[in-house]
Chain A
Amino acid sequence: EDQVTQSPEALRLQEGESSSLNCSYTVSGLRGLFWYRQDPGKGPEFLFTLYSAGEEKEKERLKATLTKKESFLHITAPKPEDSATYLCAVETSGSRLTFGEGTQLTVNP
């Protein structure tokens, strides 16, 4: 059974304090790994897709990386507006996504 585990469950940072979120996965055949941002009461917003180990993608203060067993979402010098829940999902055969439970990030000014 495909499994996705995100850690930590919650993370509090001071503005400017860089950190990383982790997404570890156990799948039979990874076709892609996805990162989303979700604000309270809203639908998830697509951030990145990673397809192969060693791949990296960046967007503003966010950088996503992928290894054979896990992905990291690095947040550099975060701002309060980066506060949200970050969701990781993996795609395996069957065109379905399996989501982790998310990391709730709070950035204090």
Chain B
Amino acid sequence: DGGITQSPKYLFRKEGQNVTLSCEQNLNHDAMYWYRQDPGQGLRLIYYSQIVNDFQKGDIAEGYSVSREKKESFPLTVTSAQKNPTAFYLCASSISGYYNEQFFGPGTRLTVL
């Protein structure tokens, strides 16, 4: 089955530690996205990539980093510079940046202790 996988589902981190969230898709989509969702709020764009080896900052990129070395993978690193990292993180992909029907993974809930 084609789809988007995110791992882990739950992640706990101590303050001051970097952590990497995984996102993999087998839909052969060119574009991939990372969003953050806080309780009662809409999704906010962190980073997006329309093609391998290229990515752009979204609205809230500070304290986060990404890489796009392979078409199917778009990992997100939450660094210690992110002041309030506890949130629900969602990865999405679309056929291309032009046809923007985005399909989402199941999410990773990150809690900083």
Contacts and interface: CB of A to CB of B under 8 A. Distances in A.
Contacts of A41: 88, 107, 109
Q: Which of B45, B100, B106 has the most CB of A within 10 A?
A: B100
Contacts of B109: 41
A43 B100 contact: no
A31 B40 CA distance: 26
Interface in B58-99: 58, 88, 90, 92, 97-98
Contacts of A49: 101
Interface string A20-48: 00000000000110101000011111100
Interface in B10-61: 31, 35, 40-45, 48, 50, 58
B39 to A, nearest CB: 11
A102 interface: yes
B41 A101 contact: yes
A43 to B, nearest CB: 4
Interface stretch (A61-69, A71-79, A91-99): A91-99
29 contacts: A4-B42, A32-B100, A34-B100, A34-B101, A34-B102, A36-B104, A41-B88, A41-B109, A43-B6, A43-B92, A43-B106, A43-B107, A44-B43, A44-B104, A45-B104, A46-B101, A46-B104, A87-B42, A91-B100, A95-B48, A95-B50, A95-B97, A96-B45, A96-B58, A97-B45, A97-B100, A99-B35, A99-B44, A101-B42
Given A36-B104, A89-B43, A97-B45, 18 more contacts: A4-B42, A34-B102, A41-B88, A43-B92, A43-B107, A44-B104, A45-B104, A87-B42, A87-B43, A95-B31, A95-B48, A95-B50, A95-B97, A96-B45, A97-B43, A97-B102, A101-B42, A102-B42
Interface of B: 4, 6, 31, 35, 40-45, 48, 50, 58, 88, 90, 92, 97-98, 100-107, 109
Interface of A: 4, 31-32, 34, 36, 41-46, 49, 87, 89, 91, 95-97, 99-102
